Amino acid sequence: MSEWKRIPDRYRESAEPEKSGTLREFAYTDRGTPRRALVYLPNGYEEEGERRYPVLFLMHGGGGNEEEFFGGLDAKMPLKPMLDRMIGEGLVRPLIVVTPTFNRPVDEGVNPDAVRVHAGDAAALTAVFWRELEESLIPAVDAAFRTEGNRDFRAFGGFSMGAEATWSVLCRGGAAVRYYLPMSGDFWAVSVKGGKDHTAETCDRLIDGIRERGLSPEDYRVFAVTGEQDIAYEAMKPMTEELLGRAPWFRSADEGGNLTWRVSPGWHAYEWCWDYIALALPEFFPGA
């Protein structure tokens, strides 16, 4: 993978204040339960009072929370400066980014401490997050911010267990989102690491869900990516390659289809997510 190009160093450096977006907390409720996310608003959001924006939802991996991708409100991770600079350079359309969590409060019968260490609990939560996304989070975001307000301008991505959530949203909640960015994770609808151990059945389950929601292959776009040294590679590779053989539901984007499959030289770490997000965003929401 010697041709792989890492993000430029400047993407890790804070933009000038006049070119910088803002981060804020966002509170909403899901069936009466208080929920929290972080929201990135691009530079100029406050001044451009009529403009509407696409939305990217990003889900953390196991053991993380809604602060993981940005590194909290202090933006200790490179995501915020990268967004500021890509938008400022016209590589991607100004957009809103929302980072929720699949973790749930103890009083709902789920122990957050157990979720952080036991993949079975995390998998149960990622498998059903599509409902919260569709019923609660999207309506709350659309009501609070100037979004485009329809699926053609929504993307959902995630890392590791967040990638499992991403496949689950496509399968079970695809009517609300057009673009998908699973990073370093396969779909666990049949079993843990089902992309490796039950490849055909996993792909069947995904396509059955898409079909049941009345979607056509033109209604969704997937950018699937991981690293050669990533622990998710052994499950994601066979699953994605199987999907690429499942026309018309999936065809390679390199041939005009709806599925991009990319492999970096990387390992299982957020460090590589910045590369993956930087590659996918211009395909989802290209700059003017």
Q: SS3 string of 115-133? A: HHHCHHHHHHHHHHHHHHH
φ, ψ of residue 201 to 5 degrees: the values are -65, -40
Where exactly are the structural domains of the chain? 9-284
Q: Distance between CA 90 and CA 203 in Å, rounded?
A: 36
The tens-digit pLDDT sequence of the chain (288 residues) is: 458 999 999 999 999 988 899 999 999 999 888 999 999 999 999 998 899 999 999 999 998 999 999 999 999 999 999 999 999 999 999 999 999 999 886 555 555 555 444 445 788 889 999 999 999 999 999 999 999 999 999 999 999 999 999 999 999 999 999 999 999 999 999 998 999 999 999 999 999 999 999 999 999 999 999 999 999 999 999 999 999 999 999 999 999 999 999 999 999 999 999 999 999 999 999 997
Using alpha carbons, list the distances in angstroms from residue 60 to 160, 197, 217.
Answer: 8, 24, 27
Q: What is the amino acid identity at position 19? A: K
Is pTM beyond 0.85 here?
yes
CATH class, domain 9-284, is alpha beta
Q: SS3 string of 183-250? A: ECCCCCCCCCCHHHHCHHHHHHHHHHHHHHCCCCHHHCEEEEEEECCCCCHHHHHHHHHHHHCCCCCC
Quick one: pLDDT at residue 113?
55
Please name which of 145, 141, 134 lies closest in space to residue 42, comparing C-alpha atoms.
145
